[in-house]
Amino acid sequence: MTSPQGREYFRQLHETPAFGADGFDLGELREIMAARREPTIAGIVCHTTEIDGMPATWVFAESADPNVRLLYLHGGGYVSGSSAFYLTLAAHLSVAAGCAVLLPDYSLAPEHPFPDALEDCIRAYGWMVNEGPQGTARARVTFVGGDSAGGGLTLATVLALRDRGLQLPQGGVALSPFADLTLEGESIRTEGELDPIMSPRCLPDFVALYLGGADVRNPLVSPVFGDYAGIPPLLFQVGEHEVIRDDSVLAAEKALAGGVDVTLEIWPGMFHVFQSHEPLLSEAREAIDHIGEFVRTYAN
């Protein structure tokens, strides 16, 4: 059941049009998602670093284990987003999971179409295995997570690591992943008027800008088409009222078919990446706690 606070916030979100409802404005989206959102929790350390020329930011709580590391891949439709915009969510995750969080500023389309962002994420993961928030030190355990486009990249990164015979993380966390760029999910139609964050009208623009001529059914573009055999445990979280809700459902089904330990959470009354909205809704706090439990479970 949705909390009264959650219902009221959902109503307030509907007071303004969802992104893309009045046309696709890449400049506006980039400006919004480049804003710096400082952590709202005391005792959080944020410091910038560089991964072979790629900017990144470490975010970690005083209580976090620097040798438990989460590579978190931001959202933004593969065309926008920044580590600065995700400092608040990363701080909550660091506290809940007791881990250090690395936010890379991976390449964005259309300047850098597929597979540039994916290659950046793979490179960032490999770097994180050996470099921590306090300097060179091999990680004890690692995880990969992300939301929206970053959720799709989370799944694609894990699939690519397996295919290349590279070290796999202990688990993956996909929040509202944009994982079916064919746009065939039924929720695009059923939730089109209910999703307060993203209009279905903007989805073809995201896809066209990102693809760069790639096959939309390539599992590293659309992970719903992946073979998940040999993939570590996965946690999916998605809101009930999301146009891309079915991306999570379909990817979770494929992972289950591949023998993966999968947890799929569809949060009643919730919207796209509800975990990132400040101040946190009660549903967001609970969802973040679930992510913390997932990381702590598989880190031990």
Look at residue 113 and give its three-state secondary structure. Answer: coil
Spatial separation of the C-alpha atoms in residues 126 and 123, rounded to whole Å: 5
Please give the structure tokens belonging to residue 257. Answer: 């078919």
Burial track 36-58 (b if 16+ CB lie within 10 A, e otherwise) = ebebeeeebbbeeeebeebebbb
Supply the residues annotated as catalytic: 148, 242, 272
HEC profile for 165-205?
CCCCCCEEEEECCCCCCCCCCCHHHHCCCCCCCECHHHHHH
227 to each of 94, 246, 276, how far by Cα in Å?
A: 30, 18, 30
Q: Collapse the DSSP code of 294 into the 3-class scheme (helix H, G, I; strand E, B; otherwise coil) and give the result.
A: helix
Helix, coil or strand: residue 230: coil
Q: What are phi and psi of 175, to 5 degrees?
A: -100, 115
* Residue pair 191/241 in contact by the 8 Å Cβ criterion: yes
